């Protein structure tokens, strides 16, 4: 479903961010993307839906090359959920935020209403349609941010630090929610407990390169390698 081939990217100041990334993710996989800050995790996620475009190499999603010409098509397939939900929520009400994507797709009002309801039910936020997002807890805002993406009915979810800042209860609820979703997932995170619970496959990045790609149980059992990778 996702294929990255010799992906290179530099920041505007010419600092290398991704260096020759080769990665394939099959449909239905839940994959953790690990590494210290600055390893390139978020930059990789931003390539999956065309927010960033590679200096060299290719990104292919479900058979479609990601280019400036295919961005609209790709974003219907790849839902990107930011670490900070306030980067994703900008409307006066929860319902308006969740409706924005389907409306942008040009769906008729009845279909938009149905998608909003389905997405909010999926994240356990039904009944909050008229609530202002800024009056919700962080955990609730993260759920609504996820709902804004689910309303687009993407085949792939790219999540950047989904459990960051959550208390233990909200974190457990999020893990259970993500477990129940059928989408292919790539999850950039420092939360190794979340990885153990959710992602059978773990990829470690360092300095813009993939330095490990293996079963999560194998990686987490090797404390020496976790220490070398800056993980704990």
Q: Which residues of 24-52 are buried (b: 16+ CB within 10 A; e: fewer)?
A: ebeeebbbbbbbeeebbbbbbbbbbbbeb
Tally: H helices and E strands in the chain:
9, 10
Radius of gyration of the chain (CA): 18
pLDDT of residue 105: 85
Q: What is the pLDDT of residue 108?
A: 95
Q: What is the pLDDT of residue 135?
A: 94
Which pLDDT score is estimated for 13? 87
Task: List the CATH code of the domain at 2-228.
Answer: 3.40.50.300
Alpha-carbon distances of 64 from 16, 74, 106, 137, 224, rounded to whole Å: 26, 7, 22, 38, 40
Residue 141, number of CB atoms within 10 A of its CB: 21
Confidence at residue 31, expressed as pLDDT on a 0 to 100 scale: 97
pLDDT at 162: 92
pTM equals 0.91
- The one-digit pLDDT tens for each residue of the chain (232 residues) are 899 999 999 988 888 999 999 999 999 999 999 999 989 999 999 999 999 999 999 999 999 999 999 998 999 899 999 999 999 999 999 999 999 999 988 899 999 999 999 999 999 999 999 999 999 999 999 999 999 999 999 999 999 999 988 888 888 988 999 999 999 999 999 999 999 999 999 999 999 999 999 999 999 999 999 999 998 7
Sorted by sequence, the CB contacts under 8 Å of residue 34 that are 6+ apart come out as 41, 188, 189, 190, 192, 195, 202, 203, 204, 205, 229, 231
- Residue 211 is predicted with a pLDDT of 96
């Amino acid at each position: 479903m996702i294929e990255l081939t010799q992906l290179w990217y530099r920041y505007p100041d010419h600092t290398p961010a991704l260096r020759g990334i080769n990665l394939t993710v099959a449909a239905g996989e839940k994959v953790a993307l690990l590494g210290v800050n600055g390893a390139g995790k978020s930059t990789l996620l931003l390539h999956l839906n065309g927010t960033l475009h590679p200096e060299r190499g290719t990104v292919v999603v479900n058979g479609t090359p990601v280019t400036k010409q295919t961005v609209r098509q790709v974003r219907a397939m790849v839902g990107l959920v930011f670490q900070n939900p306030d980067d994703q929520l900008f409307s006066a009400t929860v319902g308006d935020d969740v409706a924005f994507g389907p409306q942008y797709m040009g769906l008729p009002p009845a279909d938009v209403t149905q998608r909003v309801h389905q997405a909010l039910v999926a994240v356990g936020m039904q009944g909050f349609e008229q609530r202002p997002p800024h009056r919700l807890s962080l955990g609730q805002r993260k759920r609504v941010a996820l709902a804004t993406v689910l309303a687009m009915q993407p085949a792939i979810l790219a999540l950047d630090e989904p459990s960051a800042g959550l208390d233990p209860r909200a974190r457990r609820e999020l893990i259970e929610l993500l477990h129940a979703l059928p989408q292919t997932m790539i999850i950039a995170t420092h939360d190794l407990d979340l990885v153990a619970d959710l992602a059978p496959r773990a990829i470690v990045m360092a300095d813009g390169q993939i330095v490990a790609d293996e079963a999560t149980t194998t990686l987490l059992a090797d404390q020496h390698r976790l220490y070398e990778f800056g993980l704990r």
